[in-house]
Amino acid sequence: MQPLLASDPTAVGDYRLLARLGRGAMGGVYLGRSRGGRVVAVKVIRADLAEDPEFRERFRREADAAHAVGGFWTAAVVNADPDAEQPWLATEYVPGPTLHQAVADHGALPEATVRSLGAGLAEALVAIHNAELVHRDLKPANVLLGPDGPRVIDFGISRAMTGHSLTATGIFLGTPGFFSPEQTLGGDVGPASDVFSLGAVLVFAATGCGPFGEESTASLLYKVAHAEPDLEKVPDGLRPLLAECLAKDPADRPTPTQMLDRIGETSPQGSGWLPQPITAVIAQHATELQRTAQAPDAPPAPPAPPNPPKQQTRTYTQSAPAPSAPAPPSAAPAAPVAAAPASPMRQPITPAAPQKRATQAQVVQVRRDGPGPEFRTAGRVSAGIWAAFFAALLVGVAYLAERVSVDREPLFLLGAGLLVFGAIWSVGRMLAPSLRLKVNGDGVVVHRFGLTREYPWSQISRVGVVGRGKSTALALWLADGSAPSSALWLRVRRYHGGGRVYPIGATGGFIARRQEARRLRTALEQYAPGRYDSRIL
């Protein structure tokens, strides 16, 4: 959970918002509390998308689909308003991490846990398909690990089997590496497509990696449609079943009911179905939930008088009561109590303690071998072409120098010097290794020449993809208020209090840049919930 930002709503419908849970492509997800005290997860669609009739219809279908499904292992819908100025959807809150987060932080799950997970998700698909729906985006980030079993969430791109798709030609709905070959090739998408995705999700849970690796979008699209999945690390007891789920022909895949028969009597209920480290995380989620949910409601009148400009300061690492600065640093814990009337609701989720943990997190390391995408800059080919071009010009200058009058010789020497410099610079760029970026559950790491710059998530308050075209870059804002520093091998440009730490615009041509920027945004949505801000430009 992250504190509410000054730009976030404080109430939606009958629900008071308490904290930020994350942000996706369609909007933000918040922890909310009803007037009766029930805690829910509230998804609020972005204001700019609310003006788009296609996105509004997509959100309406999500609400209708989730209402229709029910079932044991899907997050129950509590309320929704697709016609609001900013449409919203409230579902039950599951106090647990996503499967993607759990595997990224704690590694692959044991076979018994994967069997229980498969049984729960297969039963969820039974409920979804009985409602004549296809989920179409079953992936690790859309599976929550609750204390009593898994939950399938986000019906944002599911559709009625008998309905019509709202997609345009050439637009894919789903996540590369987890959606089916028929989605990739534009064929008919039915219940068997969800079975393929379920097989890919279980491979990820059992091995820590998807069945087709973690490569570029184009590579994943090709492998899903034409290559065989890599099941070498899958436990022997699960390999035959998952191989059938990942069959290219939908007719060769088992149904969710047949999967339940094959998996056997494995109930995910009970606290022992998950490994102890993940159970401990769920316990922490439950404790934080209880503390946040018990926060008193803010009085309706008092918030207006006290210093609105300072309270609305856009900050991600300090609570709003910071204006009570006369107190010395040792008295910092008492500051929230003194400022309680101004914003009592936000105290439990913006304590000073996390700020201290962030400054003490210097020893945290970002594992470069952990699951997560890697990016690297390109340009060696173009640098080689420029080096050859400059060399050719130098030859031409040398040839002309013999036939030019003496009074113009200095001009030729100056031009030759510039050409030599350009050739040397281009050769250096051609020979220099690429700058690489790794994004995973630990944080962000940039490395080159054997040198490394690590940014753990505990030290980052906000992250986003900024700029357009060749100026597209990954920007970070550090929790201590400082900006990332530059080095001889890593040039960091300042950006509105943060810094551009990696140039996505240098990863290739126009198409490659767009693909890598999209892949980076997807990675940030999965690995940096609550920190990734998709509104940054």
89 phi/psi in degrees, rounded to 5: -140, 125
Residues ≥6 apart with Cβ < 8 Å to 9: 17, 30, 44, 86
DSSP summary character for residue 485: P
Catalytic residues: 137
Binding residues for ATP, as ranges, are 43
Q: Which fold has domain 95-295?
A: Transferase(Phosphotransferase); domain 1 (1.10.510)
Q: For each of the chain's 537 residues, which pLDDT tens digit applies? A: 778 888 788 899 889 999 888 776 667 889 998 888 888 889 888 777 778 787 777 777 777 777 777 667 888 788 888 888 888 888 888 888 899 989 988 899 999 999 999 999 999 999 888 888 888 889 998 899 988 889 998 765 555 444 444 444 344 455 678 889 998 887 788 899 999 999 999 999 999 999 998 777 778 888 888 889 999 999 999 999 999 999 999 999 999 999 999 887 665 555 578 888 888 888 887 777 777 766 665 544 344 444 444 433 333 333 334 344 444 444 444 444 333 344 334 444 334 344 443 333 344 467 666 667 888 887 666 667 777 888 888 777 777 766 665 455 666 677 777 888 888 877 776 676 788 898 887 889 998 877 889 998 888 888 999 888 888 999 998 888 788 888 888 889 888 888 999 998 888 888 888 888 888 888 888 788 778 877 665
Total count of residues recorded for the chain: 537
pLDDT of residue 467: 87
Residue 214, SS3 per DSSP: coil
Domain boundaries, the chain: 1-93, 95-295, 363-377+434-527, 380-431
Q: Which amino acid is at 225?
A: A
Closest by Cα among 93, 190, 199 to 135: 190
pLDDT in the model for residue 443: 87
State phi, psi for 464 to the nearest 5 degrees. -170, 170
Model pLDDT, residue 345 = 42
Residue type, 240: P
pLDDT reported for residue 316: 36
Question: According to the model, what pLDDT value does residue 211 have?
Answer: 92
- Let me know if the fold of 1-93 is the same as that of 95-295: no
Residues 100 and 117: beta-carbon distance below 8 Å: no
Report d(CA 85, CA 413) in Å as an integer: 67
Spell out where 71-171 has E strands.
77-81, 88-92, 133-134, 143-146, 149-152, 159-160
DSSP 3-state of 112: helix
**531 closest CA partner among 439, 402, 468, 467:** 439
Query: Residues within the annotated binding site?
Result: 43
The whole-angstrom separation of Cα 263 and Cα 123 is 11
> Structure tokens of 509?
């041509």
Q: In a 3-state reduction of DSSP, which class is residue 259?
A: helix
Report pLDDT for 114.
Answer: 94
In angstroms, the CA 348 to CA 362 distance is: 25
Give the per-residue pLDDT at 174: 56
Question: What is the CATH number that goes with domain 1-93?
Answer: 3.30.200.20
